[in-house]
Amino acid sequence: MDADPTGTLPLKSEQHIVASRQVVRQLCQSLKLSLVDQTKMITAASELSRNTLIHGKGGQMRWEFVERNGRRGLQLHFEDQGPGIEDLELALTDGWTSGSGMGLGLPGSKRLVNDFDIQSVPGRGTRVSITKWK
Three-state DSSP string of 14-45: HHHHHHHHHHHHHHHHHHCCCHHHHHHHHHHH
Q: What is the pLDDT of residue 95?
A: 73
- 38 vs 90: which has the higher pLDDT: 38
Spatial neighbors of 29 by CB under 8 A, at least 6 apart, are 3, 38
pLDDT bin (cut points 50, 70, 90) of residue 15 is very high
Other C-beta atoms lying within 10 Å of the C-beta of residue 94: 11
Looking at CATH, the fold of the domain delimited by 6-133 is given as Heat Shock Protein 90 (3.30.565)
Across the chain, mean pLDDT equals 91
Which amino acid is present at 103? Answer: G
Burial of 20: CB neighbours in 10 Å, binned 0-12, 13-18, 19+: buried
pLDDT bin (cut points 50, 70, 90) of residue 4 is confident
Which amino acid is present at 30? Answer: S
pLDDT bin (cut points 50, 70, 90) of residue 2 is low
